[in-house]
Structure 1
Amino acid sequence: MSSTMRAFVLTGPRECSVQEVPVPRAVAGEVVVEVERAGVCGTDVEFFTGAMAYLHQGHSAYPMRLGHEWAGTVTEVGEGVDPAWLGRRVMGDTMLGDRTCRRCRRGHQHTCERRQEVGIRGGRAGALAERLAVPAWSLHALSDPVDAVLGALVEPGGNALRAARATGAGAGDRALVLGPGTIGLLTAMFLRAAGAEVHLLGVDSLDFARGLGFANTWTRETLPGSPFDAVVDATGAAGSPALAVELVEPAGRVVYIGLSGQPSSLDTRALVLKDVTAVGVLSGSPGLAETIAAYASGAVDPRPLVAATVGLGDVGAVLAGERIGGAGPKVHIDPRR
């Protein structure tokens, strides 16, 4: 086996290349995975532009290797790892807590103050590479119906599942999702699977969402006055958190999963006077296993979201905003290309 592999390396804002880097080795407690698919997401774009807050808070630094939505096959196991993992198809949790602090011990390792995040935080190399090293405890096995495409959609799906669950919406409820991007559309899919009447609000063409079977798609100008029992903000707009509270019914729920590049203004008097419950969702970690099950059963099928699958050499163009492939919001990378 070669001692080097190809990986996408970000060396500064808008500075990147595909480089030959050392192949990772499975240290004690970890495995090495041959990456078959890796998704590109908005967080990766923020690192590419230099806008990501972690860069300014000391949690991340260039050079770095991106990629936290991935699927692949275990090719090597380290000391203390069950050899049964060898050859298994897997995806992995992005959030790697220290497993010793109070938050980790209480089952909230995704909020650990000392956490690493694969391809994001703490120097943990990501999946835009031919191989990836991660702790064995972070793995989730993929069942046969969940191929590499679906496997690389589990991480964003876990976020969306948690957002949908946080609304409490089901049969007889009307839910509005702000922002028809990847997370917004996945959230809409999980809400639909739960039996809710789903509405989507965007700023321009919503033909793609309609093609996924979401007939109730609106702009701000066309949004009907129907009551919404729950509103999910999956945008990056600073004004959306306040809009969500404005649009939700009294005693309803608002869920925040989108992050703005600047502080949002929200009058908490509106929350109190409408008796609204507000929930923030940071990570898909607690929802990964359920997401895999939902994909395996066919209850949720996110395949149409993938507009194209390209190689490592195309990552820079994707991050720079070049439109590749079809109308879907997600681009996948096959590092073997």
Structure 2
Amino acid sequence: MRALVLTGPGEAEVQEVEPPVAGPGEVVVDVERAGVCGTDVELFTGHMSYLRTGRSWYPLRPGHEWCGRVTAVGEGVDGGWLGRRVTGDTMLGCGRCGRCRAGHHHVCADLAEIGISRGRAGALAERLAVPAAALHRLPESVDPALGALAEPGGNALRAVRAAALDPGERLLVLGTGTIGLLVALFARAHGIDVHLMGRDEAGLRLAAELGFTGAWTRASLPSLPWHAVVDAANSPELPALAVDLVEPARRVVYIGLAATPSRLDTRDLVLKDVTAVGILGGSAGLSGAIAAYASGSVDARPLVAATVGLAETADVLAGRRPAAAAPKIHVDPRR
């Protein structure tokens, strides 16, 4: 089968590789759609920290935002999965440790991540092997674009839940990339008054097109009581700004990651009695994201700028992407 392979920093090519076989407890999925994520770009450029710590290595087959149809099941797997449209959890814990047993498999010490770490092949390929325990069924009403947005949607939904806001309260989202816009969409579906702050004019325009009248730059941001702030950007200055902007005794949620360390004065947290929450992975939000897509309460499809073929993916990773305001590029590996 064809798969995208990262062979070194800045090097990627489509190769003919052996197709996956469903081992015990696994299924094989024919991939319908896969998203290109900032993590994939970091793995391509060589800037991903996992490459320095030994958690990831080349050659590497990326892709962790995906959907498809089950075409084979391994030993011990319910045959009812055959033919089902599915997506899946990126985070694969050992299933045995205290963290996994407590429902925190996404921070398991032996965590493997599909398309990211510990040699687990990803979904930028025609087929993918996945543990059946990681699968989530997709209703037929959830099309491939939404199916491949389930993983980032799960992340965004977890951030909204962590903000702990009631309907009508005011949320400020820092960042107008895929995660920032998804946070805004899920928060609005919960009845929250959503505002966004960004520096990318295209992202701010898209936010306005999505119906968010409160789309601001730092210079134009109004002085309003922000009942929660979600940092969904990649600037090392924004974590401290989030604490500065949020109302005392409220919450800041950190889901964005900067390329360099951020500085945050914990005295500001203490003196404002602010709760800071970090979000890693969409595991606990996948079911909710899929349900929101299926019900129509969240339509994230306008976030997809284009769908390209597997052969064009290396160009996308290198920054040569179709010109569009929308932040997300999808790949159809069947092309």
**TM-score, normalised on structure 1?**
0.98
Distance 1:180 1:170 in 2: 23
Partner of 2:245: 247
Distance 1:326 1:142 in 2: 28
Moved over 4 A (4+): none
Confirm or deny: 8 A CA contact 1:160 1:190 kept in the other structure. Answer: yes
Confirm or deny: 8 A CA contact 2:176 2:200 kept in the other structure. Answer: no
Partner of 1:180: 176
From 260, 268, 271, give the equivalent of 1:270.
268
Distance 1:38 1:170 in 2: 34
Letter of the aligned partner of 2:14 in structure 1? V
1:327 is the counterpart of 2:297 = no
SS at match of 1:26: coil
The Cα offsets for residues 275-331 of structure 1, whole Å up to 9 and x where unpaired, read as 101100001001101111010001111000000001011111111112315321000
Partner of 2:62: 66
Most deviating of 163-172 and 299-308 = 163-172
The Cα offsets for residues 161-191 of structure 1, whole Å up to 9 and x where unpaired, read as 0001110123221100000000000000111
SS at match of 2:17: strand
Confirm or deny: 8 A CA contact 2:56 2:119 kept in the other structure. Answer: yes
Partner of 2:126: 130
From 32, 41, 45, give the equivalent of 1:36.
32
SS at match of 2:271: helix
1:147 is the counterpart of 2:143 = yes
Structure 1 unaligned regions, length at least 5: none
Distance 2:69 2:147 in 1: 11
Distance 1:22 1:204 in 2: 42
Give RMSD over aligned pairs: 0.7
Partner of 1:107: 103
Letter of the aligned partner of 2:175 in structure 1? G
Distance 2:168 2:2 in 1: 51
Partner of 2:312: 314
Confirm or deny: 8 A CA contact 2:5 2:60 kept in the other structure. Answer: yes
**TM-score, normalised on structure 2?**
0.98
